[in-house]
Amino acid sequence: MSARYSFGGDEHLFVECSDEMSLEAFFKSLSMAKGVGESNIRGVTEICPANASFQIKFDPDVIKPDDVLAEVRAIEGAAEKAEPVIKTRIVEIPVYYNDPWTHETLMRFRERHQDPSGTDLDYAARINDYGSVDDFIAAHSGSPWFVSMVGFVAGLPFMHQMVERQRQIEVPKYLRPRTDTPKLTVGHGGCFGCIYSVRGAGGYQMFGITPMPIFDPTQTTSYLRDFMVFFRPGDIVKFKPIDRDAYDQAVEDVDKGRFTPPSREVSFDLREFRRDIDGYNARLEGMINGH
Amino acid sequence: MAIKVLHHGLATSVQDLGRPGYFHLGIPLGGAMDRLAMRAANLLVGNSENAAGLEAVFMGPKLLFTEDAIVAVTGADMPAKVDGVVHPGWTSFSVKAGQELTFDFLKSGARLYIAVSGGIDVPLALGSRSTYAIGALGGHKGRPLAAGDELPVGAAGAVRPGRSIAPEFRRGPGSPAELRVLSGLYWDRLTDEAKVNFFADEWKVAPEADRMGYRFRGGRKMSFVDRKQPFGAGSDPSNIVDSCYPYGSIQIPGGTEPIILHRDAVSGGGYFMVGTVISADMDLIGQLQPHMSARFVKVTMDEALAARAQRRALIERMRASGLSGMGRNRR
C-alpha cells in the first residue's frame, strides 16, 4: 500500500494512503500525519488528517514544493517500519437513539429519502440485514469507532467503526440533502458515522442525538473551556445508548457545568487489535471505567 | 468610538486576513476573499495589514460614525458617499462624527473592503477577528452584520486623508476571467476528452457563489474513467472516500458543475477534485459576479510559483508606494 502524492496548487500537498477505506489506510495516514507534525518541517503550517489520506499546507516562500514532497516521502518509509501503535484516548458518548427531534426532522424531509414509508433507523437496519432496529442499535453502540477525520465544518467528527469490513454499517446518503439537521445528530453515510457539530444542511441518515455539545465557540461548556472543539483525529469513541430521562438529565448537567464525558488515555496497537477484534475492543471499553 | 450599522447591505461581515491553524478541526482560514484589497484599505488608513475591516458583497452597508475617522474603500467599484458626497475608491478620506457612509450601485467587481483607522475592534477568536458564520465564530457575535449593530473601533494612529493607491495595484478579473489551475488530486478520474474540455470550455459563475465556494456552469459534462468504486467511496463516479479539500480546490459533483472552495471552505468531503486554483489568483475569484464568464488555464508548478513571486513583489511595491510617513501602528 504505497501512498499517492499530488500537489493541491502551490500551497498544499495531498497524500492518499489508499483510495478505499480501511483501518489500515486510516492508521497509516494518521501515523504519517503525526510523523510530519513531529518532524517540524520548516514552512509547513497545517497538517489535516482525513480518513485514508491527509493534507499538508505549506508556505512555498519558505520551502520548495519538491522539498516538502521529499521530506514527506522519507516519513512514509519510516512510518512503514514503525510499530503500528498510537497513543490516544477513548471517550464514551451518550446517545439517545430514535429521539423525537431527529424523528421530527426525518419525517419533514421524507420525500428526499430512499424509503419514505419508514424511519432512517428502519431503513438502515433492513439494508444492513439486522432483524430489528434494536439489533441495529446494539451493533452501532456495541463496538467502538475511530474518529478518522475532524472537519467538513467546525468540529464535526467522521468516524469509522472498529470492526471487520463485512460488519461495517453501510448506508447511502439521502437522495437529496436535507436543508436542516438538528445540532448533535448522530448520523451515518457510506461507511462513516458522524456527529453534526452545528445545526444545518446534511445528507447522512439520522439515528439519534447526543446531549453533549462537541463544538462551543463561546467556550462556556465546562469541558470545552480550554478549546472549543472536542474531538481530535485518532480519538476512539464508544456510544452508550441512553433513554429520555438520562438524556434530559445529561442536558441539565451540561447546563450546570457538571457533565464530563468519561475518557481515558489509551495506547492502540493495530496488530493486537487484528488478532482478536472483539476481545481487544472489550478491553478498550473496560478502560473507560478504569478497569 | 463606534460605528452604528443603519443598514447591513446584502451580506457584510467583519474580516481580517484570517485564522490559520485550525483547518484540521474543520475551522477554515476565513478572512477577506480579496486579500490584496483588504491589505490596501488598511495601508491607506494607517492600520496594520491584518487589521479587521468590513467586507460587503454586491451592495454596500449604511454606516453612521459616532466619532471622526479616516476611512478607505477598496475592492469592487462601488462609489462611497459621505453625507451624499462621493469619494473615490482606493483613496483615504475623512468621516466626521455624525456623518453617514453610504454606497452607490456596484459598477464592477463583487466585494468591497472598508477599512477604518484603528480597525474594527471586535474580540479576537482563535487569533483572528474574521467572521466564520457557519461556526458562529469571530467577527461581530459570530455572524454577518445587521441593522442596529454597533461596532467598536480601535485607537487610530496619526494618519491623514487623501492617500491613494495607484491603479496598477487595483487588479480585477478580466472577461472572461482567467483562473490559473494546477491540475492534480483526482484529475486522472477524468477521461482524456473531459480533461481537454475542462480547460477548453467557457464557464459562467453560477448564483451559488459565496465565501465558502464559487460554483460554475455552462461547460460540457465531465466523463469518468470506468472503475469499480472503492469501499467507502459511495456509488457515484464523482465520489471518493472523504478526504481533505485544499483551499482553491475544484470539485465537480456528478461531473457537471465545478465548485472552487474559497476562504470559508469546508475542510473535506466526498467529491473528487480535478486540481487547484493557484494562490496568486484566489483574490480574483472574490471579485467575480454571477453570470460572468471564466476560463480555467492550465499551468505548471513553476508557473504557479512565478505568479506567486510576482504577486508578492506587487504587494511589496504597493507597501512602498506613496504610503511612507504614515503611521503603521498596531495590529
Q: What is the pLDDT of residues B97-150, one digit of tens each?
A: 999 999 999 999 999 999 999 999 999 999 999 999 999 999 999 999 999 999
Asked if residue A278 and residue A232 are part of one domain, the reply reads: yes
Residue B217 identity (one-letter amino acid)? R
Contact A155 B25 (CB under 8 A): yes
Contact B243 A51 (CB under 8 A): yes
B98 burial type by CB count under 10 A (0-12 exposed, 13-18 middle, 19+ buried): exposed
Contacts of A172 in chain B (CB under 8 A): 234-235
Question: Region A141-146: what's the mean pLDDT?
Answer: 97
The 10 Å Cβ neighbour count of residue A42 is: 11
Task: Please tell me if residue B321 touches chain A, with a CB cutoff of 8 Å.
Answer: no
**Final residue belonging to a domain, choices A42, A65, A81:** A81
Query: Across all residues in chain B, what is the average pLDDT?
Result: 94
Cα B82 to chain centroid, rounded: 25
Question: Region B263-289: what's the mean pLDDT?
Answer: 97
Asked if residue A40 and residue A100 are part of one domain, the reply reads: no
pLDDT band at residue B323 under the 50/70/90 scheme = low
Query: Across all residues in chain A, what is the average pLDDT?
Result: 95
Asked if residue A244 and residue A173 are part of one domain, the reply reads: yes
Residue A239, helix vs strand vs coil = strand
Chain B residues 54-113 with CB within 8 Å of chain A: none
Question: Region A77-95: what's the mean pLDDT?
Answer: 90
ipTM of this complex prediction, to 2 decimal places: 0.95
pLDDT > 70: percent of chain B: 97
Least confident interval from A16-20, A76-80, A282-286? A76-80
Whether B48 and B331 have beta carbons less than 8 Å apart is answered as yes
Asked if residue A106 and residue A45 are part of one domain, the reply reads: no
Q: What pLDDT was estimated at residue B329?
A: 39
| Rg over CA atoms, chain B | 21
Residue B151 phi, psi (nearest 5): -105, 125
pLDDT band at residue B159 under the 50/70/90 scheme = confident
Contacts of B241 in chain A (CB under 8 A): 18-21, 51-53
Measured CA to CA, the distance from residue B177 to residue B182 in angstroms comes to 16
The 10 Å Cβ neighbour count of residue B167 is: 8
Residue A67, helix vs strand vs coil = helix
pTM of the predicted model as reported, rounded to 2 decimal places? 0.94
A37 burial type by CB count under 10 A (0-12 exposed, 13-18 middle, 19+ buried): middle
Contact A153 B134 (CB under 8 A): yes
Whether B110 and B76 have beta carbons less than 8 Å apart is answered as yes
Residue A268 identity (one-letter amino acid)? F
| DSSP result, A133-151 | HHHHHHHHHHS-EEEEEE-
E-state strands within chain B: 2-7, 12-15, 53-57, 62-65, 69-77, 80-82, 85-87, 93-95, 100-103, 108-116, 150-152, 177-183, 203-209, 213-217, 239-244, 249-251, 259-261, 268-271, 273-277, 293-298
Q: Which residue has the cell 473535506?
A: B268
Contacts of A28 in chain B (CB under 8 A): none
Q: Dihedral of CA B239/B242/B248/B249: which sign?
A: negative
Contact A9 B279 (CB under 8 A): yes
**Final residue belonging to a domain, choices A25, A59, A81:** A81
- Specify the DSSP class assigned to residue B140: B
Task: Please tell me if residue B319 touches chain A, with a CB cutoff of 8 Å.
Answer: no
pLDDT band at residue A4 under the 50/70/90 scheme = very high
Least confident interval from B81-90, B165-174, B209-218, B266-275? B165-174
pLDDT band at residue A291 under the 50/70/90 scheme = low
* pLDDT tens readout for residues B172-211: 888 899 999 999 999 999 999 999 999 999 999 999 999 9
Strand A12-16 with A157-161, pairing: unpaired
Asked if residue A143 and residue A232 are part of one domain, the reply reads: yes
Its domain, for residue A12, covers: 4-81
Q: Sheet harboring B100-103: ordered strands across?
A: B85-87, B80-82, B100-103, B62-65, B2-7, B150-152
Q: What pLDDT was estimated at residue A171?
A: 93
Task: Please tell me if residue B243 touches chain A, with a CB cutoff of 8 Å.
Answer: yes
The 10 Å Cβ neighbour count of residue B286 is: 27
Contact B135 A198 (CB under 8 A): yes
Residue A253 identity (one-letter amino acid)? D
- The enclosing domain of A65 has a CATH number of 3.30.1360.40
Asked if residue A165 and residue A148 are part of one domain, the reply reads: yes
* pLDDT tens readout for residues B65-92: 999 999 999 999 999 999 999 999 999 9
Measured CA to CA, the distance from residue A246 to residue A251 in angstroms comes to 9
Whether A13 and A65 have beta carbons less than 8 Å apart is answered as yes
Contact B246 A200 (CB under 8 A): no
Q: What pLDDT was estimated at residue B328?
A: 42
Instruction: Using the predicted structure, report yes or no on whether residue B324 has a pLDDT greater than 60.
Output: no
Angle at A61 between CA A57 and CA A62, to 5 degrees: 75
Beta bridge partners of A150: A157
Residue A33 identity (one-letter amino acid)? A
- CA–CA min distance B258, chain A (Å): 16
- The enclosing domain of A172 has a CATH number of 2.40.100.10
Q: What pLDDT was estimated at residue B1?
A: 62
Asked if residue A259 and residue A119 are part of one domain, the reply reads: yes
The 10 Å Cβ neighbour count of residue A8 is: 25
**Which of A22, A152, A217 lies at the smallest CB-CB distance from B136?**
A217
Whether B134 and A201 have beta carbons less than 8 Å apart is answered as no
Measured CA to CA, the distance from residue B278 to residue B308 in angstroms comes to 8
Whether B182 and A7 have beta carbons less than 8 Å apart is answered as yes
- Number of domains making up chain A: 2
For an interface test with B, give the residue of A146, A153, A232 to mutate (most B CBs within 10 A): A153
Query: Quick check: bond before B176 cis, omega within 30?
Result: yes
Asked if residue A95 and residue A69 are part of one domain, the reply reads: no
Task: Please tell me if residue B247 touches chain A, with a CB cutoff of 8 Å.
Answer: yes
Asked if residue A241 and residue A180 are part of one domain, the reply reads: yes
A268 CB-side CA count, 13 A: 28
Q: Which residue has the cell 506567486?
A: B308
Contacts of B233 in chain A (CB under 8 A): 19-21, 190
**Which of A10, A21, A173 lies at the smallest CB-CB distance from B304?**
A10
Domains, chain B, in order of start with CATH, read 2-166 (no CATH), 177-299 (2.40.100.10)
Asked if residue A102 and residue A59 are part of one domain, the reply reads: no
Q: Which residue of A has its CA nearest to B275?
A: A8
Instruction: Using the predicted structure, report yes or no on whether residue B325 has a pLDDT greater than 90.
Output: no
Q: Which residue of A has its CA nearest to B246?
A: A8
Question: Region A74-83: what's the mean pLDDT?
Answer: 87
Measured CA to CA, the distance from residue A193 to residue A191 in angstroms comes to 7
* B287 contact partners, CB below 8 Å, separation of at least 6: B34, B75, B76, B109, B110, B111, B172, B173
Asked if residue A161 and residue A52 are part of one domain, the reply reads: no
Contacts of B185 in chain A (CB under 8 A): 6, 8, 14
Contact A14 B270 (CB under 8 A): no
* pLDDT tens readout for residues A230-256: 999 999 999 999 999 999 999 999 999
Contacts of B21 in chain A (CB under 8 A): 45-46
Question: Region A57-64: what's the mean pLDDT?
Answer: 98
Asked if residue A155 and residue A252 are part of one domain, the reply reads: yes
Closest CA relative to residue B119, chosen from B43, B215, B196, B53: B53
Task: Please tell me if residue B200 touches chain A, with a CB cutoff of 8 Å.
Answer: no
**Final residue belonging to a domain, choices A81, A104, A122:** A81
